[in-house]
């Protein structure tokens, strides 16, 4: 221990005396030495690692203090008086590259600005599944989408992306919850077991021209309900597909469970989405159009996206299938990962370094170096490797976020989108011309620094859903008939959409 302490003290004594630019170079040199010095003794290597970690913490504190001293009111005012711009670059000539044909080689670090915009687009489509979800336990429609599919993007100000929704997806699970865990506090509800889990959408003509193909998007929601939380913690692996691929039973249950007695899950989420994909792909292929499938989701939604991609790639041969996931957990064994790659599924996992969820699901044994021993382990069930390419973001890069342990805040999708918007490369600070609204970070958490004066968890329905009637009484409003979930209206809207699309 004395050797370790001596090495740390010596290094800090030297670096404190250096001018800041020189000191930064010295830290980088020390870090390189730490990574490459195999000849040094264990005490020295441990000291170097601890020193490097301490330097990172000191650098974070220094940055935070510097920014705290600045006028955050001016920063907010300047940004609020600047229109939010959404550049839409023409990527029609190289869309395959942005869709992952080359596994995003040379596009991530530094990030290609056009790719950043595409990733933000898919992230916002994933965020829509949270923003439109009705989880008011006193609502008779708790667990449904607040809006009809034809109004979803209009209500959420997402029409700029150029997509229209063709189908809503509903999911259930195999468990029966005790009454105190059920989602709704009212006796009569629209559905006892089903929840709205996402949607299928298609790019319109203008967007299709810009991106070079007709893009079908499936967006999956993350965990909200008690039954979903319960399923998330199911750790047993079950066979998925026709070989030795196995995935966690909780995720698989949400994806494949159906109840014949249910109004909304007579077919499973899997069957609903695959039936819609089959219709859309067949329709656009017959028109001679090039078609792609992009599946996105956050957290649990990222896990469901992988199951969806596996199934779609196995059925729709030669269809370009990509997954853009955010904060996705590990979900299956190494065979599942390998089969995803063999099926040609391109996967880009966006993760935040401080978020623990991407490392969950058997995380004690999730050291990916264990994959080198596949020949010995034979793909043991406790090995849950990640699949695809990783884009790692660092919460410390943003000057607007609180430091320290923020388990909820670091996992929120809006935090991911904030960091993605400010990301240029792993070696460059948060870009000052990031366009997304900073206040969005605090929609469901308390991660923004107090100097910004943005209240925590501010996103909610006005007056928590109560409105004044003609007599001045505060009451629960009635939903517009077209926004009420029902198999009948689902069918009618589907026929209307089919008429618009022409199939």
Q: What amino acid positions are annotated as catalytic residues?
A: 299, 355, 411
Q: Angle at the Cα of 74 (from 68 to 79), degrees rounded to 5? A: 110
221 touches 133 (CB < 8 A): yes
CA atoms within 13 A on the CB side of 206: 8
Sheet holding 195-203, edge to edge: 163-171, 195-203, 214-220, 291-298, 321-326, 346-352, 389-393
Percent helix / strand / coil, the chain, rounded to 5: 45, 15, 40
Judged by DSSP in three states, 325 sits in strand
Point out which residues pair with 195 in neighbouring strands: 171
State the Cα–Cα distance between residues 345 and 401, nearest whole angstrom. 34
Q: What whole-number distance in Å separates Cα of residue 478 and Cα of residue 201?
A: 27
From the list 395, 392, 393, 367, the residue with the least C-alpha distance to 382 is: 367
First to last CA, the chain: 74
162/121 Cα distance (integer angstroms): 10
Alpha-carbon torsion (341, 343, 346, 352), positive or negative: negative
Is there a contact between 92 and 211 (Cβ–Cβ < 8 Å)?
yes
- The owner of tokens 């689902």 is 490
């Amino acid at each position: 221990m004395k050797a370790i302490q001596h090495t740390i003290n010596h290094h800090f004594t030297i670096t404190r005396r250096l001018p800041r630019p020189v000191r930064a170079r010295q830290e980088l040199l020390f870090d390189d030495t730490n990574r490459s010095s195999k000849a040094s003794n264990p005490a020295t290597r441990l000291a170097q690692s601890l020193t490097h970690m301490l330097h990172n913490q000191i650098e974070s504190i220094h940055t935070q203090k510097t920014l705290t001293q600045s006028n955050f009111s001016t920063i907010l005012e300047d940004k609020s008086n600047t229109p939010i711009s959404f550049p839409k670059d023409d990527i029609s000539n190289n869309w395959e590259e942005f869709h992952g044909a080359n596994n995003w080689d040379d596009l991530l670090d530094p990030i290609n600005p056009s790719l950043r915009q595409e990733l933000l687009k898919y992230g916002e489509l994933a965020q829509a599944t949270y923003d439109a979800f009705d989880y008011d336990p006193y609502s008779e429609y708790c667990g449904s989408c607040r809006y009809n599919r034809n109004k979803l993007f209009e209500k959420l100000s997402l029409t700029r992306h150029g997509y229209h929704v063709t189908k809503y997806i509903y999911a259930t699970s195999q468990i029966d919850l005790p009454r105190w865990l059920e989602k709704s506090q009212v006796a009569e509800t629209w559905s006892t077991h089903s929840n709205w889990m996402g949607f299928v959408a298609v790019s319109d003509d203008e967007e299709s021209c810009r991106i070079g193909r007709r893009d079908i998007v499936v967006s999956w929601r993350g965990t909200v309900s008690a039954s979903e939380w319960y399923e998330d913690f199911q750790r047993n692996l079950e066979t998925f597909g026709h070989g030795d691929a196995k995935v966690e039973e909780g995720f698989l249950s949400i994806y494949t469970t159906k109840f014949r007695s249910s109004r909304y899950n007579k077919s499973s989420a899997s069957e609903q989405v695959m039936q819609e994909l089959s219709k859309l792909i067949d329709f656009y292929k017959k028109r001679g159009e090039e078609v792609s499938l992009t599946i996105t989701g956050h957290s649990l939604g990222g896990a469901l996206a992988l199951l969806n991609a596996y199934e779609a790639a196995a059925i729709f041969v030669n269809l370009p299938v990509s997954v853009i996931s955010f904060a996705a957990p590990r979900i299956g064994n190494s065979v599942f990962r390998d089969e995803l790659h063999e099926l040609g599924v391109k996967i880009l996992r966006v993760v935040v370094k401080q978020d623990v969820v991407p490392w969950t699901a058997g995380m004690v044994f999730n050291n990916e170096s264990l994959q080198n021993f596949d020949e010995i382990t034979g793909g043991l069930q406790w090995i849950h490797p990640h699949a695809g390419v990783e884009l790692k973001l660092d919460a410390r890069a943003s000057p607007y976020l609180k430091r320290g342990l923020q388990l909820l805040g670091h996992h929120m999708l809006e935090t991911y989108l904030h960091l993605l918007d400010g990301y240029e490369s792993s070696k460059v600070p948060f870009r000052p011309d990031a366009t997304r609204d900073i206040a969005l970070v605090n929609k469901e958490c308390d991660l923004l620094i107090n100097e910004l004066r943005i209240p925590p968890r501010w996103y909610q329905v006005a007056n928590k859903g109560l409105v004044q009637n003609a007599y001045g009484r505060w009451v629960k409003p009635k939903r517009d008939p077209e926004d009420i979930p029902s198999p009948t209206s689902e069918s009618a809207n589907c026929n209307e959409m089919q008429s618009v699309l022409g199939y």
